[in-house]
């Protein structure tokens, strides 16, 4: 395995933290107070720019397929410099909105897309392990950045911290991109990777690495069958976490217990990120797809029927197992099934579906929980059961020979 390319993937996932929810949420209180905004202003702006950025991702995904990835990464890095500068020093709502849009689109959206696309399409052998080693970059950021950023904001103010984030992009991310990937590396371009894999496969196996366009994927029955599975983790987890106070109040759980559960989720997710790649390489993502949601659904079942506090960390741990496996499995599945040539366009479209479902989850859950926690958990279990059925139907479709 090429350590330079793995470092490239790790770098993109680590620096995607600048646009992730956990990072931006650390600034909300002080920015709201300093800018004189109402308490709901930041949340409304955040949701709006997130949705707009998601609808732009399919356009950006095409550039990852067409251009040299080193230049695409550089353009995103320069954009992040502008976004962090606007968030650091702009006093107006409009410019802060632009800055927030840039860091959400570039950080949370494009950098992980570049990292997972380039790693997934290049490493056709041991793809799962390569994705695991790259994805762990975000987990490292989630562990080390919150305490450091919180201390710096309290000590020096949010403006300096945003400026430091931009400085890190300038001094670490941009030089790293150019040092880790050389000018004429095949790794840079989708077409050269696809051609190399076709030549390596030979005539008899060429269909196994044939590349599908985004239009072909959207028309593929197998894709439509598994789309509900793709959305299960982000939709259910976002909705539950957003409404955790409602669930805790009705079930008699404390806020501290819910926080402990979230920590358990993060820890278990990291473990399955690290070891899920080897499991995927042994079994294959298409095989594992039928079982990846089992821990999450078992967790929902326990949460529904067990009234005791210990069920909270157990539930979050089981959900973390599914989430960690899913994070490695899905990029590997897209690359294995649909080939390397148009992977950026395909993954950016999938990301659009994921973001829209995540944005809808808090609203849907707020209405669903009016029926009661038990009734809504029953609905979610029904959703999980449908996902199991669809996974087995899709498995049967995939095993049938093409007409």
Q: Read off the pTM.
A: 0.83
Domain of residue 241, residue span: 211-396
> By C-alpha distance, which of 272, 232, 282 is closest to 388?
232
Q: Specify whether 294 is located in the same domain as 332.
A: yes
120: CATH: 1.20.1250.20
pLDDT tens over the chain, length 403 residues: 688 989 999 999 999 999 888 888 888 888 988 888 887 788 788 888 888 988 888 888 888 888 788 899 999 999 999 999 999 998 899 999 999 999 999 988 899 999 988 888 888 778 888 888 898 898 888 888 888 988 999 999 999 999 999 999 999 999 999 999 887 777 777 777 777 767 666 654 555 556 788 889 999 999 999 999 999 998 998 888 877 878 888 888 887 888 788 888 888 988 888 888 888 888 888 888 889 999 999 999 999 998 888 999 999 999 999 999 998 899 889 888 888 788 888 888 998 898 888 888 878 888 888 898 899 999 999 999 999 999 989 888 766 544 3
| DSSP-derived secondary structure for 291-344 | TTTHHHHHHHHHHHH--STTHHHHHHHHHHHHHHHHHHHHHHHHHHHH-STTHH
Residues in the chain: 403
Cα–Cα distance for residue pair 399/403, rounded to 1 Å: 12
Cα–Cα distance for residue pair 130/126, rounded to 1 Å: 6
Measured in degrees and rounded to the nearest 5, phi and psi for residue 339 equal 80, 170
pLDDT, position 60: 84
Q: Specify whether 317 is located in the same domain as 292.
A: yes
Measured in degrees and rounded to the nearest 5, phi and psi for residue 19 equal -105, 5
- Do residues 277 and 9 make contact, with C-beta atoms less than 8 angstroms apart? no
Residue 75 falls inside a structural domain: yes
Q: Specify whether 69 is located in the same domain as 96.
A: yes
Q: Specify whether 69 is located in the same domain as 192.
A: yes
Residue 31 falls inside a structural domain: yes
pLDDT, position 402: 43
Cα–Cα distance for residue pair 149/161, rounded to 1 Å: 7
Q: Specify whether 253 is located in the same domain as 221.
A: yes
Residue 285 falls inside a structural domain: yes
* Alpha carbon of residue 21 to chain centroid: 11
Q: Specify whether 146 is located in the same domain as 215.
A: no
Cα–Cα distance for residue pair 95/334, rounded to 1 Å: 37
Q: Specify whether 319 is located in the same domain as 264.
A: yes
What total number of domains does the chain contain? Answer: 2
pLDDT, position 123: 83
Q: Specify whether 325 is located in the same domain as 383.
A: yes
- Give per-residue burial for 133-166: e unless 16+ CB within 10 Å, then b: bbbbbbbebbeebeeebeeebeeeebbebbbbbb
Residue 143 falls inside a structural domain: yes
Residue 203 falls inside a structural domain: no
> By C-alpha distance, which of 248, 8, 197, 233 is closest to 118?
8
199 DSSP assignment: H
Cα–Cα distance for residue pair 173/378, rounded to 1 Å: 45
Q: CA 91, 92, 96 angle in degrees (round to 5)?
A: 90
- Do residues 136 and 119 make contact, with C-beta atoms less than 8 angstroms apart? no
Q: CA 82, 88, 94 angle in degrees (round to 5)?
A: 70
Tokens 């050269």 locate to 192
- Do residues 223 and 390 make contact, with C-beta atoms less than 8 angstroms apart? no
Residue 270 falls inside a structural domain: yes
pLDDT, position 209: 55
* Alpha carbon of residue 327 to chain centroid: 7
Burial of 372 (0-12, 13-18, 19+ CB in 10 A): exposed
């Amino acid at each position: 395995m090429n350590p330079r390319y793995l470092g490239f993937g790790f770098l993109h996932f680590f620096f995607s933290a600048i646009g992730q929810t956990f990072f931006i949420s650390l600034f909300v209180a002080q920015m709201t107070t300093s800018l004189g905004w109402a308490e709901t202003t930041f949340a409304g702006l955040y949701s709006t720019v997130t949705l707009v950025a998601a609808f732009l991702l399919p356009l950006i995904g095409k550039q990852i397929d067409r251009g040299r990835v080193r230049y695409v990464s550089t353009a995103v890095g320069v954009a992040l410099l502008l976004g962090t500068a606007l968030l650091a020093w702009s006093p107006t709502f409009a410019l802060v909105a632009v800055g927030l849009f840039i860091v959400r689109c570039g950080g949370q959206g494009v950098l992980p897309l570049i990292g997972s696309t380039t790693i997934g399409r290049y490493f056709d052998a041991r793809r799962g392990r390569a994705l695991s080693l790259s994805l762990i970059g975000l987990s490292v950021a989630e562990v080390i950045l919150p305490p450091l950023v919180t201390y710096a904001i309290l000590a020096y103010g949010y403006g300096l911290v945003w400026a430091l984030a931009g400085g890190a992009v300038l001094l670490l991310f941009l030089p790293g991109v150019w040092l880790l990937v050389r000018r004429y590396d095949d790794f840079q371009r989708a077409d050269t990777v696809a051609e190399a894999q076709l030549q390596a496969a030979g005539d008899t196996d060429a269909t196994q690495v044939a590349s599908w366009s985004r239009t072909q994927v959207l028309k593929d029955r197998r894709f439509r069958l598994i789309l509900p599975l793709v959305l299960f983790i982000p939709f259910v987890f976002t909705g539950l976490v957003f409404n955790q106070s409602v669930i805790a109040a009705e079930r008699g759980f404390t806020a501290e217990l819910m926080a402990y559960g979230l920590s358990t989720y993060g820890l278990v997710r990291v473990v399955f990120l690290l070891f899920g790649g080897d499991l995927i390489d042994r079994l294959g993502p298409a095989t594992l797809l039928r079982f990846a949601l089992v821990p999450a659904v078992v967790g929902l079942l326990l949460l529904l029927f067990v009234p005791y506090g210990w069920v909270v960390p157990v539930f979050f741990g089981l959900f973390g197992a599914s989430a960690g496996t899913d994070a490695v499995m899905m990029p590997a599945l897209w690359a294995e099934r649909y080939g390397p040539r148009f992977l950026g366009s395909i993954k950016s479209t999938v990301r659009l579906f994921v973001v829209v479902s995540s944005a809808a989850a808090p609203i849907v859950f707020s209405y669903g929980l009016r029926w009661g926690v038990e009734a809504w958990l029953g609905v979610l279990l029904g959703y999980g059961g449908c996902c199991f059925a669809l996974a087995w139907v899709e498995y049967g479709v995939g095993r049938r020979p093409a007409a």
